[in-house]
Homo-oligomer: A and B are copies of this chain.
């Protein structure tokens, strides 16, 4: 029953007293075989503990039938996207594997290499900061379509969020509360999402005559904390931003921590707005107003583009709407 090294089609064929072709056909259901023969083959498979060798199959067939997904980090946003991808791919009957680049060019290069060397059917990528399409264009073969998500880079199709519109609505809402000065916390501008969020806010602030102060930092909670400190220390107390907008969810936690430590009262004293919704944003006191990307939908849309590409159709980048979820950290009164 237990086998030392894995048995092959050959062994099964010998055991069942049929040809290796017949065995292959019962395994893949690729031809009618007499019920009695099939039974014999199946018994033999059980008997000697045969396990299908996909890698041989893939070599013969020329593709793995797998989709590769590269995210930059296992953070809640990307894992939501993953869930969308998973769902959509499942209905298409594809399996997929995930790997994370850790925002490192070199790792991303290695992983793309791994994906094409393993003959993935397609690749979904959230590109690292400073990524340049050229490598993909040159290295990844045409049969293996590449779809970007979250971040766009010119030359490759992507699905991203339409930030401008929601940012404008947010700015409008903020002036309605009487806020005059927004402090914005961003990470590197080598990432398209950060540029979008920055430019969107700049535009909106111009339109509504809000003062805007930027602070760039590392995209973690420590960064959010430090950036808030710096932002506030740049001004006299009365000129400090009355709202701080964190361009991602984990920096948001840093600003919240700062506010708490320094005794600011969120929603009264100061307003705080975040990007991407998490469950805790709702139960926080006060609940946090956020610009909420449709992460799940982004995953689905990326798969849809991929599918189109696999069918040889032309694919065009897509931008998903962003929802402004108003809660109370922006200054809205408790009901």
Contact = CB atoms under 8 A, between A and B. Distances in A.
Contact of A74 (B53, B55, B74): B74
A24 interface: no
A1 to B, nearest CB: 8
A5 B143 CA distance: 8
Interface in A113-147: 114, 116-119, 138-139, 141-143
A117 B256 contact: no
Size band of the A side of the interface? 35 or more
Contact of A56 (B59, B142, B260): B59
A318 interface: no
Contacts of A97: 97-99
Interface in A220-269: 221, 250, 253, 256-257, 260
A119 B6 CA distance: 10
Interface string A150-188: 000000000000000000000000000000000000000
B95 A54 contact: no
Nearest to A110: B95
Nearest to A107: B90
Contacts of A56: 59
Interface string A40-58: 0000000001011111101
A74 B75 CA distance: 9
B74 A64 contact: no
B98 A51 contact: no
Contact of A64 (B1, B55, B100, B260): B55
Interface in A258-313: 260, 278-280, 282-285
B3 A141 contact: yes
Contacts of A74: 74, 79, 82-83
A49 B283 CA distance: 54
Contacts of A54: 114, 117-119
Contacts of A99: 95-98
Contacts of A285: 260, 285
Nearest to A255: B283
B114 A95 contact: yes
Nearest to A87: B102
A55 B118 contact: yes
A51 B117 contact: yes
Contacts of A5: 141, 143
Interface in A80-94: 82-83, 86
Contact of A79 (B79, B143, B280): B79
Contact of A59 (B59, B117, B118): B59
B100 A86 contact: yes
Nearest to A83: B74
5 contacts: A5-B141, A95-B110, A97-B97, A97-B98, A260-B285
Q: Which 10 pairs of residues, A with B, have the shortest CB-CB distance? A: A74-B79, A97-B97, A54-B117, A280-B280, A98-B98, A257-B283, A55-B58, A256-B283, A52-B117, A55-B59
Given A79-B79, A221-B279, 6 more contacts: A49-B138, A54-B118, A55-B118, A96-B99, A253-B279, A260-B283
